[in-house]
Amino acid sequence: MSTPNQATRRAFLGRALRLGGSGLIGPHLARSALASAESWKDGPWQIGCYTRPWHKYDYRVALDAIAEAGFKYAGLMTAKSKTGLVISAATPPDEARRIGLEANKRGLKIPSVYGGDFPVHVSLEAGIAGL
């Protein structure tokens, strides 16, 4: 008979095998988890950050923070500007190119840009012109 404070031989052996097994398997699982994390490092997902949280600042402040946080991709949305956007339909091509170069300087790629709404509510032609 066993008392509540006394372990049985079966319980002792079971616990010893579990602990011993975890000692053998644990390092293998840790290596496996690390290898799995490394394999996703250059995986199919593009994880980035939009400039929207920095809408009260110049877009360069947002790009600096996004790059400093370790992101490789930045989505351009809002910033402190005349239009409230980093790039809009009214942005001249030279300025858009400069913004792209600012991102490149920080090692960032730009897969997404929000340029505001296009005036299709005015007319289809106005919407197309806004593109």
Tens-place pLDDT, residues 96-109: 999 999 999 999 99
Phi-psi region of 3 (alpha: psi -120 to 50; beta: other; left: phi over 0): beta
Residue 37 predicted with pLDDT over 70: no
Average pLDDT value for residue range 29-43: 56
Task: Decide if 59 contacts 86 (C-beta within 8 A).
Answer: yes
Query: What pLDDT was estimated at residue 73?
Result: 96
Q: What residues have CB less than 8 Å from 86, skipping those under 6 apart? A: 51, 59, 76, 77, 78, 79, 99, 113
CA distance 79 to 88: 11
pLDDT value of position 23: 58
Query: What contacts 21, CB < 8 A, 6 or more positions away?
Result: none
- Give the containing element (helix H, strand E) for 129: helix 124-130
pLDDT of residue 128: 86
Average pLDDT value for the chain? 83
Predicted confidence (pLDDT) at residue 45 exceeds the cutoff of 60: yes
CA–CA distance, 57 with 86 (Å, rounded to integer): 11
